[in-house]
Every structure is written in structure tokens, then in C-alpha cells.
């Protein structure tokens, strides 16, 4: 496989370093919030707009194309990707359809969980307690989500280094008692 001087092994798209050796549609799956189907849709739209094959290596395309691909990743609804592919449909605050990636997705998930806990919904309370939300049984499962609880050694009294255990003196039985059996 011949590599030219313009080949880039790392390409930065949407605040994420992507592997330049992968095809465009496979490299996009490394961005948080983009799955296989969404990555293929984005790569096909990118191919239609720039005439770069969707299965060409990400590192072989020129740097000018990065901004176009990043625009498709951040605003897919403006480029004709169907609404059912987006991960945030009818947002509660704005009522708009949008696709969130990377830190925006993490932040939105965290605020959604805080909202559920704040309004004291069943789901919000179960999530805050660390219990299953969707009706699973809890008699025997979902027990050890926290740290393990078990027997712990007592800390040695002294300078921090543990001291060897003292030998217990065993008392020898006198020969008189050993010989007598009833």
C-alpha cells in the first residue's frame, strides 16, 4: 500500500481525533453519539456534497474537506439526514430536533437525569438510588453496584508498618495427664 505525503494518520473532527486509516463511515463511529447507521448516512451525504467516496480513507482527503464533514456531523438535519436518525427529537426546552455529539450529549444526559430527580419521578428516584428502572426483579440481582463490603483487617497500632503477629505460647501437658485416660 503506497502512502503519499498528504496522508494524515490522525484527523480531528468534532473535537475528537479520528484514525485516518479507516474509511470515512467507520471513522465517524468513534465520535460519541454517532452509531453505525448514522455514520453511514453522514458519509453518504458527504459523498453527495463533495464527490469523495464514502468508503475512502479519512486521512487521504484534503484538509479543506474537514470543515464540511464536521458541519455534517454537528448539524445533520441541515444536510438532509432524516429526522428519525437524530438522537434528540422534540427537545423539551426548545421543541426542536437536533443531533448531539461528544460533550453536548454528556451534558444533556446529565441535565435530563437531574430534572427527573428534581421532579421526584419514579424513574428519577430509582436512578438516583442506583436501582433498576425498567421493572426488573431485585430479589437476587442488582445487589452490588457499590463498593464491596466484607471483612477488613484492623490497622496495626504503631508507626504504620504492620508488626508480625506474636506467637502464642502453647502449654505442654504434663506426662501424668497425657498417660491417664478414662
Mean pLDDT by 10 residues, the chain (182 residues): 70 87 91 92 91 87 88 90 88 87 90 90 88 85 66 67 60 61 56
**Which pLDDT score is estimated for 23?**
92
| CA gap 72, 76 in Å, rounded | 5
Distance CA 124, CA 115 (A): 8
pTM above threshold 0.85: no
Is position 148 within any domain? no
Same domain for 17 and 69, yes or no, is: yes
Q: What is the pLDDT of residue 107?
A: 92
- Grid coordinates representing 74 are 454537528
- In whole angstroms, give the CA distance from residue 46 to residue 26: 13
Task: Print the domain residue range for 51.
Answer: 10-85
- C-alpha distances (whole Å) from 126 to each of 60, 89, 102 are 48, 24, 26
Cα–Cα–Cα angle for 76, 40, 36, nearest 5°? 100
pLDDT, position 167: 60
What is the model's pLDDT at position 93?
85
Q: What's the structural domain count of the chain?
A: 2
Q: What is the pLDDT, as a whole number, of residue 40?
A: 92
Amino acid at each position: 500500500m503506497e502512502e503519499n505525503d498528504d496522508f494524515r494518520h490522525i484527523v480531528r473532527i468534532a473535537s475528537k481525533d479520528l484514525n485516518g486509516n479507516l474509511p470515512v463511515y467507520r471513522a465517524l463511529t468513534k465520535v460519541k453519539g454517532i452509531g453505525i447507521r448514522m455514520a453511514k448516512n453522514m458519509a453518504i451525504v458527504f459523498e453527495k456534497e463533495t464527490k469523495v467516496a464514502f468508503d475512502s480513507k479519512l486521512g487521504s482527503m484534503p484538509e479543506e474537506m474537514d470543515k464540511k464533514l464536521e458541519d455534517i456531523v454537528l448539524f445533520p438535519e441541515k444536510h438532509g439526514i432524516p429526522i428519525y436518525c437524530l438522537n434528540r427529537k422534540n427537545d423539551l426546552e426548545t421543541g426542536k430536533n437536533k443531533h448531539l455529539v461528544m460533550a453536548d450529549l454528556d451534558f444533556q444526559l446529565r441535565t435530563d437525569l437531574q430534572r427527573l430527580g428534581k421532579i421526584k419521578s419514579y424513574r428519577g428516584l430509582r436512578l438516583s438510588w442506583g436501582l433498576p428502572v425498567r421493572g426488573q426483579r431485585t430479589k437476587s440481582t442488582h445487589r452490588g453496584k457499590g463498593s464491596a463490603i466484607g471483612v477488613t483487617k484492623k490497622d496495626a497500632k504503631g508507626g504504620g508498618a504492620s508488626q508480625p503477629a506474636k506467637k502464642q505460647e502453647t502449654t505442654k501437658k504434663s506426662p501424668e495427664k497425657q498417660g491417664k485416660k478414662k
